[in-house]
Amino acid sequence: MPPISTETLKSNSRVPPGSQPIGRRLPKLVGRILWLAVALMGGWAFAVISRDNGEPVNSLWLIVASVCIYLIGYRFYASFLAAKVLALDDRATPAERLRDGHDFEPSNKWIVIGHHFAAIAGPGPLVGPTLAAQFGYLPGALWIMIGAVLGGAVQDFVVLFCSIRRNGKSLGQMAREEIGKVGGFVALITVLLMMIIILAVVGLVVVNALKGSPWGTFTIGATMPIAVIMGLYLRYLRPGKVLECSALGFVLIMASIFGGQAISESASWGPAFTFTGVALAGLLIGYGFLASVLPVWLLLAPRGYLSTFVKLGVIVILAIGIFFVHPQLQLPAYTRFVDGTGPIFAGKIFPFCFITIACGAVSGFHSLISSGTTPKLLARERYATATGYGSMLLESLVAIMALIAAASLQPGVFFAVNSPAGIVGSTPAAATATISSWDPRFAVNPSQMAALADSVGEKSLFYRTGGAPSLALGMAHIFSEILGDKRVLAFWYHFAIMFEALFILTLMDSGTRVGRFMLQDLLGDIWPKLGETNWMPGMLVTSAAIVAMWGYFLYQGVVDPLGGINSLWPLFGISNQLLAAVALCVSTTVLIKMHGAKYMWVTCVPLVWLVIVCFTAGWQKIFDASPDLGFLAQANKLAHGPQTAATPALIFNNHLDAAVTAIFLVLVAVILVDSLRVWIGILSGSKASTTTETPYVVSTLGQEV
């Protein structure tokens, strides 16, 4: 019997023309119903968290709202970007075409996603949401969710795509080739200067978390020799035995936490590990120098592996804890500080909520990773969706969890920990009286704070600005609730401090090394020998220059009477978001060369928003008449107020901060103008739409990656 043709089957079918069989329609119908359910559930959760009726809100509603919007954003918006805007295909990636077994190596999809997430997940999504909670939980939560879906994840995804199509080139290289030599050179300078500020501010967070804390100082200090031991173990004792090394590192980390407790309780050893902020800053500067010049296998690589191991584990535990404990959000949806008079940092919700949240929604630093190691490892273009867009959504979820941990604290405790003495008063009695006067819900007293400090093994929790200690308190309460034992609160508090510090120190050691590479690239044009990254004298000189630059700003923040965070975190936020603006300029240029004006809105919308936010914040930080907000006003107040030995230095620092902010704004304005020139030329037809995208090459990789 001859085979029946498809046409015969179609002609005999009773299915009306243009319709699909029920078997095909059902899965599509079920899918639509499920996505409608996700949308309705997310909408209901949004309605619950948006109510401000004076009663605590269950944090589970915030988790539901965020997960729903992330799922919808990934399923629909990311798919649209991948299929229509970027048109991902199965061409050979740089990892395959330039494979050298060193920098370029096609790797397993999940390994690359894990590497990318560990690289982008710095302190920003932990600290930024915690600090922004002074406005209440709602403003930060809304920006984290919306900003990540429409801004941060888009930037990470598009920059990763652009780098994949250009042999894994860096953001600076792409800016120089796609925009022009002027814009590219300015972008390189801008990235280097912004890296300096980022390293200084995250260092300040560590210093404020560890000063006066022998337990925390010993535990964090112990992670450095532990990393060296792991490096030597893998290189000489048991090469390739990663699981053994991981188990060794875990045991030693746990031992360091218990060892820190013993140190803090010792009458002789406790004082030896109790350092002032200035002393800790000096130690951190020395560590940054060593991390930049020592062989990568000895300190940086094992520390990075160790921190990734701890990061992922703690994030999973925190997620499980929030799900099962689902603490009440004690902070209200909005606080009185939406008017700009906040004690943690000055400024209104617009623009300072957005630049304070920073990495939890949009991070310019991510563009350096998306155009760094990640495009050199991706085996297939289509993996860029999960790696670029998906990893940013996961980091945004971490920011939501950090916000929950901070907002679940009693409001008075939250402000007592995060407010500087210069704002609330220099004694516990004065500080608690000031905080309690703000709102009846903020009532707190010295004995309550003393009992809390004792329960976590600290002498005092007042004036611990920077966000890390208050976040650690919130995390410790959640972890202890899981076990149902408040007696282990001290262990979990210092475990959380270690977790946050590992996030930050990983960024500091790798960031210092990257900064050294950038400086060597620039100086190599003047003296080629300095551009050789393996030349020891050049390595030492440029490493010292980098740590001296970020070390100065770190010291400035440590001695600041307002705690440093008030001035430096907004500067960090502005620089980070401006770096994202630079990345979006490059992305928009590439999209215009690909599609004309059709899809330029994808990157232009977040670009325009970031430019408005950052330039507004920058202008206010420089010229605002309030001494609590404006750098120049603060300098003028100091000049006409009581004089101390430190006053001239504080005045100079405020003038320097104003100058640095102005330089950032001018540099980014140059890049914007140069980009606009290119866009107008291409769209008007007066400039050729030349691109540096590599030609299509068929992939020969099998299905193993």
pLDDT attached to residue 13: 42
Q: Decide if pLDDT at 290 tops 60.
A: yes
Residue 700, token pair as written in the block: 């020969």
- CA dihedral of residues 260, 264, 267, 270 (deg, nearest 10): 80
pLDDT attached to residue 301: 65
Q: For residue 76, with 0-12 CB atoms within 10 Å meaning exposed, 13-18 middle and 19 or more buried, which class applies? A: exposed
- Say how far apart CA 108 and CA 388 lie, in whole Å: 15
pLDDT attached to residue 300: 66
Instruction: Give the CB-side neighbour count of residue 287, counting CA atoms within 13 A.
Output: 29
Count of other CB atoms within 10 angstroms of residue 186: 23
pLDDT-wise least confident of 324-333, 563-572, 619-628: 563-572
Question: Per-residue pLDDT averaged across 7-17, rounded?
Answer: 42
- Say how far apart CA 574 and CA 651 lie, in whole Å: 21
Q: Decide if pLDDT at 305 tops 70.
A: no
Q: Decide if pLDDT at 396 tops 90.
A: yes
DSSP classification of residue 533: T
pLDDT attached to residue 659: 92
pLDDT-wise least confident of 161-175, 555-569, 664-678: 555-569
Q: Decide if pLDDT at 195 tops 70.
A: yes
- Average pLDDT score, the chain: 86
- Residue-wise pLDDT for 109-123, tens only, equals 887 887 788 778 777
Q: Decide if pLDDT at 104 tops 80.
A: yes
pLDDT-wise least confident of 313-327, 380-394, 486-500: 486-500
- Residue-wise pLDDT for 399-441, tens only, equals 999 999 999 999 999 999 999 888 899 899 999 999 999 999 8
Domains of the chain: 36-212+275-684 (1.20.1740.10)
One-character DSSP codes across 656-705: HHHHHHHHHHHHHHHHHHHHHHHHHHHHHTSS-----PPPP-B----TT-
- Say how far apart CA 379 and CA 113 lie, in whole Å: 12
Model confidence band, residue 632 (pLDDT cutoffs 50, 70, 90): very high
pLDDT attached to residue 291: 82
Residue 385, token pair as written in the block: 């969706």
Model confidence band, residue 568 (pLDDT cutoffs 50, 70, 90): confident
Question: Per-residue pLDDT averaged across 681-703, rounded?
Answer: 86
- Residue-wise pLDDT for 498-523, tens only, equals 777 777 777 777 778 778 877 887 78
pLDDT attached to residue 333: 93
Q: Is 473 left (phi over 0), alpha (psi -120 to 50) or beta?
A: alpha
Question: Per-residue pLDDT averaged across 292-298, rounded?
Answer: 77
Taking a C-beta distance cutoff of 8 angstroms, is the pair 291, 299 a contact? yes
Question: Per-residue pLDDT averaged across 489-494, rounded?
Answer: 82
Residue 11, token pair as written in the block: 């002609």
Model confidence band, residue 526 (pLDDT cutoffs 50, 70, 90): confident
Residue 279, token pair as written in the block: 């002393």
Residue 593, token pair as written in the block: 């060369």
- Say how far apart CA 460 and CA 427 lie, in whole Å: 11
Q: Decide if pLDDT at 546 tops 50.
A: yes
Between 111 and 627, residue with greater pLDDT: 627
Radius of gyration of the chain measured on its C-alpha atoms: 26
Residue 573, token pair as written in the block: 């936020």
